[in-house]
Amino acid sequence: MNKLTKALEECRVKQEKAFIPYIMAGDGGLERLKSQLLFLENGGATAVELGIPFSDPVADGPVIQQAGIRSLEEGTTLKAILNKVMEIKNEVKIPIILMGYSNSIMAYGLKEFTEDCLRAGISGCIIPDVPIEEEKMFSAIKTAGIVLIRLVTLTSSKERITEITAGAEGFIYAVTVNGITGARDGFGGDLGGYLKKVKELSPVPVLAGFGISKPEHVRDTTQFCDGVIVGSKIIECFETGNEAQINELIQASKDLVQK
């Protein structure tokens, strides 16, 4: 079984909610990556979403954009990221999901990317600018046993959500805001109704992401889904040395029971 799928199944069996932090690979230098991953693993994260820095990150807000700029200024490349993950894979046990835009992968070469992901033990990929209609272009990744995570949004119709969730692997990434990533004070509209609708239609776990930055956000959203993804706040905490707040966010997911 895929390592990410297994970790999510273990959450279900333990009746826990999943918590997946996002970090930008190479933010502060790739030499920090091992310690960051081990900190998150030891803190109880279910998996880690590892961002690939990109010059034109259309889905990312200012915090993640700045993290990407810092990483690129450090000279981080996708090749260097995968080499680093290969180097530390026997010490870091937590599943790793690569998040990056299609241009980075195509420039790397799909065959070489897939082979290097396998060597590095990558469990999943999120390619946010690839709709399901174009997913076939990246079928080599799925064929290799690496799950391709699909996204749904607040504006997705029931018919579109049904189409996206059919044949989904790993988990469904339910985007919780209309717009880009970044911490927010709260969420508008019927977020609970939206998450319940996605969960009713999805054969795989549903994790909410975008804008989740406080323990109460974790508790509120996971009433309606299987877990959360937190990005900008995690990056801020690592940058400011406030790792205790990361533990508070992870712990907020541990006191909740699967529904």
- Listed in sequence order, the residues at least 6 apart from 240 whose beta carbon sits closer than 8 Å to its beta carbon are none
pLDDT band of 56, cuts 50, 70, 90: confident
H-helix segments, the chain: 3-14, 33-43, 62-73, 78-88, 102-108, 110-120, 139-143, 158-165, 191-201, 215-221, 232-240, 243-254
Chain centroid to Cα 93, Å, comes to 16
pLDDT for 163 beyond 70: yes
Give the residue-averaged pLDDT of 16-27.
96
Predicted structure pTM score = 0.92
60 is catalytic: yes
Give me the architecture of the 3-251 domain, per CATH.
Answer: Alpha-Beta Barrel (3.20)
CB 208 within 8 A of CB 174: yes
The neighbour count for residue 77, using CB atoms within 10 Å, is 17
Catalytic residue among 27, 31, 41, 60: 60
Q: Which residues pair with 97 in a beta bridge?
A: 49, 124
**Percent of the chain having pLDDT more than 70?**
92
Q: Which of 10, 27, 31, 49 is catalytic?
A: 49
Residue 77 pLDDT greater than 90, yes or no: yes
